[in-house]
Structures are given as structure tokens and as C-alpha cells.
Amino acid sequence: MIRGLLVRFYESAAASGLPEMERLANTVSTWWPQILVAITTGVTNAASEGVNRLIKTDARSAFGYRNPANQRLRARCATTRRARGHLSRRTSGRHSQPRRNV
């Protein structure tokens, strides 16, 4: 089924005469093995790409680091779940536990 749709896509891209469509078909053809793996298994590299984006964003905001050890530490801190707001920042005190509905 996928193969038939892919052939139809390539044929329509070639028949369109648009350079953008031909470039898109060429890109899909080049990356097809990876695309097929993503479709059939559902495995992606989205998590690693997201971490890389966070590290690059942090480096841009600091305009580069002078100390490589500090850069590694800042990158590690920027990519933790707590720094991205996924975990509660409260670690002690009265409100550290979730509230129960009474």
C-alpha cells in the first residue's frame, strides 16, 4: 500500500513540472529508508533533536562560554526536566505533596 502511494507521489511530482515538487520528491527518495522506519516502528530522534535545540538556544543566549567545563554544566542544567518546568520546584514544606480532594 505504501509503495503504491509513493509511486503515485513520484509520478505526480514529475508530471507537475514544478521545480519545488521535483526537489521534494528527490528529498523523499533520498530519505525514504529513514522515513519508512519512522512510519513502521514509530521510533524517532525527536527527543535528541529537542535536547540539541535547548543546548544551542542556551549557548546563543550566553553568547558563547569561555570555560568549556562551565558550558557543559550549563548545557546539562538547561536540559533537565526540572529546568524546563516539568517537575515541581517545591521540595519541602507544607505544600510539597499534591493536594487531595476531600
pTM over 0.85: no
Q: Largest Cα–Cα distance in the chain?
A: 68
In single-letter form, the type of residue at position 32 comes to W
Cβ neighbors of 24 (< 8 A, separation 6 or more) are: 13
pLDDT, residue 69, reads 80
Q: 38 near 45, Cβ under 8 Å?
A: no
pLDDT, residue 52, reads 87
pLDDT tens digits, one per residue of 5-59:
999 999 999 999 999 999 999 999 999 998 988 888 988 888 889 888 888 887 7
Grid-cell match 521535483, residue found: 22
Q: At what angle do helices 2-16 and 19-41 cross, to 10 degrees?
A: 170
